[in-house]
Structure 1
Amino acid sequence: MKFKNLSYRTQLFLAALLLVTIPITLVGVITAKRNASTLVSDYNTSMETIISQANLALDTLLADATKIADLPLLNQDIKKAMVTNYKDNYLAYSHDSTKFKTLFSQTNRLNQNLVTCVFKNRFGYTFDYNIIGVQRQTQITENIRNWKSIAQSAPNYTYFAPLQQTSIDSQKNVLPMIKILFDGYDFKEIGICYAEINFESVENILVSAQNAENTILIYNAEGDLTFSSNESYIQNQSSYTELLSSLSEFNKSIVDSDSIKTQKFEIGKKTYLINGVYNKTTGWHLVQLLDSHIINQIYQNNFLNYLGVFSLILILGLVLAIILSKKMTVSISKLCDEMDSYNTDSYSAISMEACVSNKELRKLVTSFNNLNQRLTDSLQQNYQIRLAEQQMHIQMLQFQINHHFLYNTLNVIKSLANINNVPAIETVAVCMSDLLRYNLDKFPIAKLKEEIAQINRYMTIQNIRFPDKFICDYSIPEQLQTLDIPAFILQPFVENSIEHGFRKKETDCYISISCNIENNILHFFIVDNGSGMSKETLQQIQDRLSQDNLSATSLEDLNERKHHSIGIRNVHHRIQSYYGKEYGLTIESKENYGTIIDIKLPFEREHPTN
C-alpha cells in the first residue's frame, strides 16, 4: 500500500515518529531522570522521614518520662500518702516526703529525662523532687494552679504545657506535664502529678535537621508556636508576619491522624513546601518548612531545556504541516463546499464522492449524515411536543379572558361574605382567586411547595362543597419543598381522583401524595382509594401514553372520560420533553380498590427553565 493512501493519522504518526518522537524521547528521558533523582531523593522523601522521626522521638521521650505518674498505682506507700491528711501528723508528712525524694532519685537513675517532679495529694500536701530555690517552687505552684483545670478536661486527664526555659543542669528547654491521678479501684481523684521533662533529645533531632532551607516548628495544642529549629522565627516574628500567618492556617488544617499533610504555597517570590503531622501524645502539631528555591531553580533549568526542545519541535512540526497540509486541503475543500451547499429544507445524505479516498473524512461524512438524521427526527418529535403544549396554552388562554374582571368579582364576593359573616364563601373566593392567579402565572416551572399549596386550595374548595368527604395526606420531605418541577403535574391527578375515582363514594375518600428518591430518580406517588379502573380502560390510557403525538381529530372524538386522559398524556409528554423518554408516569389501578400514579423525574439533573 502506498504511503499517500494511508489515513492522515497514520501518515502523521510515521512522520512524527521519525522527526519528533525519537528526539523528544531521548532528551526527555535524560532530563526527567536527572531531575527526578534530585527532587525525590533530596527533598520529598527526606522531609517526610525527618518529620516522622521527630514525631516518633517525641512519643518515645514522653512514653518513658510520663511513667512517673504511675507510681501511686505501683507503690502502696505512695498511694497511701496521696490519700492521707497530714494535718495532725507533720512527722509522718516529713517521713513520707523523704521517702518520696528517695524513690524519685532511684527512679530518675533509669529515666534521665525527668528534670523535676511534684506530687500533690487530694488534701493539698506536696512531695517534690529536684526543686531548687523558692522562686522555682513558686513558679511550679503557679503552673499547677493555672493548668489543673485544663488537665481535668484533656484526653487521658493529661496536659502538656508550652515549653519552659530553666537553668537546672544547663538545660535550655523543659516540657511541663500535669496529670490528674485517680484511684485504681473507685476511680476517685487522689491528686496531681506535675513533671518537667528534658526536651533536649527531641530538640537535638529537630536542630540536626536544620539547614539553610529546612526548618522544624512545633505548635502546641492551643495553636501557638512554641519551638522552632530556626530561632529567628520566634525571636523576630515581626519579620516573618506573612509566612507565620500562612503556617498558622496550615497548622489548623492538620487532622488528628497518622498521615502526613503536605502543602505548597507562595509568599512574594518565594515558594515553600510544608509537611505537618499530629502528635497524639501531646496534641501538638509538628510542621516542617522547606524553602524550595532550589527546586524552583531545577524547574527553571527544566523549562530552559524543554524550551529548546519545544523550539526544535516547532520547526519540525512546521515543516511537517507544510508537507501534509497540501494533501489535506483538496479533500477538505471539496467536503466544505458540499456542506455549504447542503439543502436544509429536506434531509439528504452527503455523497461520499466528496471525500476522495481518505478514511477520516469518510468517517466525518458518515457522522455528519447521522447527525442530520437525528436532528431531523428530533425536530419532528419536538414539533409534536410543541403542538401538544400549544393546545394546553390555548386552553389556558380561555381562562385569561378578562381575568382582571374575574379577580375583581371574586374580591367583591369575598368582601360581601366578610360583611355578611359567611366565612365559607369568603374562603372559596380567596382560594378561587389564588387558583386562577397561579394558573396564569406559574408556567412552565414552579416550586414543589407552590404545587402543594395549589392542591390545598383546590381541596379546600372541595371540602367546603362536600364536608368531611375527602382526606388529603402529604408526605413530602422538607428539603425537597423548594425543588423546581414542571408546573401542573400533580393537580390533574388529584382532580381525576375526585371527579372520577370518588364519584360513587360519599365518605372515606382518601388521597395520599408522597415522594421519595431512589437511584437518583425522584418519584411522586398520588394514591387514592376510589373506584379504580377496569383493565380495559387502564390499557387504553397506557396505549395513549405510549403514542408520540396527539392529533386534533382524536381530541374531538374523545368522550368525557377520555378527556381526562388528555391531561394525563399532557403531563407525561411534557415531562419527557424536559428530561427524556426514560422519565414520565406509570399508572396502576384495580377496579373497586383505587389507583396509584407514579411520576418519575431526575433528581440530580438541572431542571428546565423553559
Structure 2
Amino acid sequence: MSKGHSTFLEYRIYRKKFLGTIIVVIVLCLSAFSGVLFFFIRNWINDVQIQSQYRFQQKERQLENIQTWTRSYVEGLYTDTALMEDLKALFGAVNNQDYIAKRRENSLNSDSEIRYVPSDIKKLFLDGRTKICGVTLRSDNGIKALRMTNYDLWVDFECRTIEDVKTIPGFGDIMASSYSVRDPDNMSISMGTMDFWISTADFYEDNDEINASWGIFDADGDMLAHSKMSPQQEAELFQAALRGVQFDWLENTGSRRTFFTKHTSNQGTFSYVVIKSIGELVADNRYVVGVIGTTLFLIAFGIILFTNMQLKADYEFLSKIIHMLSHMESGEFADVQEEDLSSERRKNEYGMIAVALKDVGAKLQGHIQREYVWKLKEQETQMRALQHQINPHFLYNTLETLRSRALLEGDRDTADAIALLGALYRARTHTKDTITLGEEFKLLEMYLKIMELRFGDNFFYQVELEDALREIPTVSFWLQPLAENFFTHGFDRESMYNLLIISGHPQGSDTVIEIMDNGSGVPADQLEQVQKTMREGNDDPEADIGLRNVYMRLNYFYGNGFKMEIGNNPEGGFKISILIPGKVEEDVHIGDRG
C-alpha cells in the first residue's frame, strides 16, 4: 500500500472533489451573477419606463394647462365686443391692406376706441407658462399666422397651408389647441378657427433629465425634436416610432439589445419615444454591477479557500489512516495499537475510521489467537474420532447378520430396529455436511423410531415441519444430539408417558425450530451455567459438550441473526428454541461442506 502523497491533490478522491467544488462554485456564481444582473436589468428597464412615463405625463399636464389657458383666452374674447370686432376683421381680411381697411371702417363706425387683436394675443406669447410660439387664424379667406420676433408681433398673410406655417422660423411645430370662433352677432355662423402652436424644442427643453435617447414624432412620423444621439440610435428611434405598441424590443439592432417605450398624446398629435440598450443600462450602473461581481467573487473565493483547508486537514488525517493500514497489511497489529490519535481525534467519519481501525487491529490480533487455540482443539477432537472409528463395512455386515437371525427366530421388532440402526448409520457416514431441513428432520425421525422400539409404550414423539421450510439449507446431524439430550437428562423410565415434540414453523422471514419435552427440566440454580457453557464452552473434559457443539455449528453456519435459547417450560420439562435467520450468510465456507 502507498505510504501517502505530498499534497492532497495527488489523491484522486480529493482532486475530483476539489476540482468539482471549483467548477460547481464557478457555475453557481455565474448563474447567480446572471440571475441578479437580470433582476437589476428588469428594474432598470422599469425605471426608464417610469421616468419616461412621468416626463410624458408631466408634459401632458402642462399641455392641458396650455389648453385651459387658451380656452379661457378665447372665451374671454366673447366678453370684449371691440376685440371681437377686430378679430372678425382679421378673419375676413385677405391681406394686410385689407385688414387695415377693415380696422379703419370699424373705427369710423364705433363711438369708442377700437381694439387690436394682435396686441392682445401678444400677452400669451409673453406669458412663459403658456410657451405659445404662434397663432393661426384659418377661414375661407386664408390663413393668418401671428408670430413674435424681438417682442414685436407680426401677422403673416402669405401662408396657404399648415405646412407653410410650420416653415416659419420659431413659429412652433405642435398645435397645442384649436377652437372654432363664431360670429357674436350670429352664433350659428363660424368666422373660422383659432389655433395655438408651441415649439417641441422649447416644450421639451428640460427633457435631457432622462438618461436615455428620446425623440418627439408628429402624427405623420416626422421627428420634431430629439436628444443627442448617434445615427444608429436615430434609426432605432424611427423604427420604434412606427411600432404600434407601448413597449417592446427592437429587431435587427445587431449586437445591441435595445428596448423602447412609446407614449402618445391624448389627441394623437405627437408621440414621445424613448430607446435604450442593455449595454447602456449596464454602463450607467457599472458601480452596482461591479459590487455584485466583487461580492460573488469574494464568496466563491471564500468557499474554495474553505474547501481547500478542509481537504488539507482531511488529507493529513487520511495519511495517518493509510499509515495504520500499512501496518495492518504487514501484520503489524501491535504497531497499530501504538498509534497515538489523541491529538488528532476527530468527530467526523475519519475519526470514526481511525478508532475503528485500532479496534479492528485489536480484534484481529485476539481472533488470530483464538483461531489458533480452536484449531488445536479441533485437531484433538479429530484424533479422538479416529481412535473410535469402526470399519463401516464390518458394522453393516454384522448388523445385517443380526437382522437375518432375528427374522429367522420370528422377532420382527428386533429385525426392524436393527434395519433402522443400519440405515441411520449408513446415512450418517454418507450424508454431506450441508443438507436441507427436510432431510435433517427425516434423519431425526429414523433415530426416534429406533428409540420408540427401544422404550416401547412409555415413549411418544411428534415431529412437524411445514412444507415451506423443507428446502432451507442446514448442517447435518444437529437435531439428533438435541434429542439425545432428552434421553440422557429428561427421560423417566418409571413414567408411562415420556413425550418429545420437535416442530418447525416460519416467523416472519425467519424460521423457528422448537424441541420440547415433559421431563424434569434443569434446576434453576444450574440453568444459567448450562447457558454459559453452551455459548462460551468449558475446558472441563467431563462437561457435556452436546449443546455447545450444536450451538457452535449452527452459529458458524447461519452467522448474524442466529439465536439458540434454552429454558424450562412453565408446564414442566425442558425447551430449546432455535431461530434461523431468513438469509444464510455467504461467508461461512458453505462450499467446503459438500
The structure number with the bigger radius of gyration is 2
* TM-score (ref. length: structure 1): 0.42
* TM-score (ref. length: structure 2): 0.43
